[in-house]
Structure 1
Amino acid sequence: MEWSEFAEEMARLARHLLEQESTQATLDEIAAAAVKLVGGCDAAGILALHKGRAVTLAACGDVVEKSDRLQGELCEGPCFDAASRAGGERLFRIADLNEPQPEWSRFAPAARDLGIGSMMGFLLYTRQEDFGALNLYSYRAGAFTAESETAGWLLASHAAVALASARTVDQLEHALETRHAIGEAMGILRERHGLSEEAAFDALRRISQHHNVKLRDVAHSVLAEELGGS
């Protein structure tokens, strides 16, 4: 793909990512775009670490989840390191997994058994936070070139911005849903027990504190009880 064509594809992708309706949809589109746009890429995925555990957030290709699972079990591997920022690196490229990989002596031979010939990975990050790592796989050794690395880096940069936007939208929607549920629960308590607005909110808060349950979960319980009794 010529660079002018790649630039046009990236511009279309940036708009397309911002049009997605959820963070998960954005993640899935990023993985699919990597396979489509980066030369030599046969499969792609996004890996994050949650409490030290490797989690596959998106996958395009069967080998992705197998590789992520393997790295999580071994606590070793380039994607695992990229997601955890081990050594401070923001990208990696393994040209040939048939060659010795001292850093990942257990992962490399197991990856070859999965049919992986070469790999690249890019940390997905903005100034505020990290999202994990975008990881690209090829079944051929030497598939990724310097141009592939540049293309992958540009894609990862676009993806991080789109993910930041998607998370913000998800957080706002979640906050609105929570506020709406609490308002409805307060209305039920006011009608049922003749409470003022302040007293109804205090009742929800006391239950939340006493049972160590989030306020939104208390509100949902009140709503579920009302629906069950109606």
Structure 2
Amino acid sequence: MRWTGPSLARLVVELDQAPGIAETAETAVEHAVSAIAATSAGLVLNQSGNPVAAVTTDPAVEELHEFELGAKAGPVMEAFTNRTMVGIDDTAVELRWPAWQQTVVGLGLRTELHVPLMASGNLIGVVSWYHTEPKAFSHDDIAIAELIAAHTAIALHTARTAAVLDEAVDARRLLGQALGILMERHDIEEQHAFAILRRYSQHTNTKLRDVAAQLIETRRLPD
């Protein structure tokens, strides 16, 4: 096995120190490549039930992800949809997705491994490993890949939760400032001021947070 205990410890620390979702994903794929001596790696995130290409270590993988997510067919989509690990020993003889096969062989990628990222019962995304040679990943490599995926899923779930909380706190702060402006300007109570903001939000089909932000910036409600 190429990976060691210190390697895992370093991954956990760096994932924990990553400041956001994008940085966490980048850290994960960087470690993924070296962990099992893959030639490249990539990560797809679950965004409202849809797979979105997040980060790759190679332009060929980026091109393949764009093709596969656009065609909605291939091993990444299989892992994403069914929440199951998908391994391909030789893309040259894989016949389940003909259009994908032509593309992947043309890009020179022969071995693939895709592991879903699960945390708290939720699909966070899929992390993928690639190699230019067929049958490149051993059983030990697969075990390491699953370990990396488990830690990556937790880190991404934590980062996403933190981002949502930060956004909620920021929205509450903006709303409070906007309400204060309306209450002072029109000498009205908070409930009335909130009703005004909500009405503008509904009539303009704009998020309440954005209406509040515009009021704070311009000192006037949108037309």
TM-score, normalization: structure 2? 0.91
Q: Which runs of 4+ in 1 moved over 3 A?
A: 48-54
Residue matched to 1:129: 122
- Which one of 71, 79, 82 corresponds to residue 82 of structure 1? 79
Q: Which range is displaced more, 14-23 or 194-203?
A: 194-203
Q: Which amino acid aligns with 1:143?
A: A
Question: In structure 2, do the counterparts of structure 1 residues 195 and 188 end up closer, same or farther at CA, with 3 Å as the change threshold?
Answer: same
Residue matched to 1:94: 88
Provide Cα deviations, 1:29-74, integer angstroms capped at 9, x if missing partner: 11111012123x1111112465786521111111221111111233
Q: How does 1:65-214 map to 2 (within 5 A)?
A: 65-85=62-82, 90-99=84-93, 101-214=94-207
Provide Cα deviations, 1:128-186, integer angstroms capped at 9, x if missing partner: 31112101111111211111111111000010111111111111111111011111111
For structure 1, list consecutive stretches of 5 or more residues without a partner in the other structure.
Answer: none
Identity of aligned residues (%): 29
**CA distance in structure 2 between the aligned counterparts of 1:161 and 1:120, rounded to whole angstroms:** 20
**CA distance in structure 2 between the aligned counterparts of 1:11 and 1:55, rounded to whole angstroms:** 28
**CA distance in structure 2 between the aligned counterparts of 1:205 and 1:195, rounded to whole angstroms:** 15
Question: In structure 2, do the counterparts of structure 1 residues 49 and 197 end up closer, same or farther at CA, with 3 Å as the change threshold?
Answer: closer
For structure 2, list consecutive stretches of 5 or more residues without a partner in the other structure.
Answer: none
3-state SS, counterpart of residue 184 of structure 1: helix
3-state SS, counterpart of residue 103 of structure 1: coil
TM-score, normalization: structure 1? 0.88
Contact 1:54 1:71 in 2 (8 A): no
Question: In structure 2, do the counterparts of structure 1 residues 57 and 172 end up closer, same or farther at CA, with 3 Å as the change threshold?
Answer: same
**CA distance in structure 2 between the aligned counterparts of 1:65 and 1:19, rounded to whole angstroms:** 26
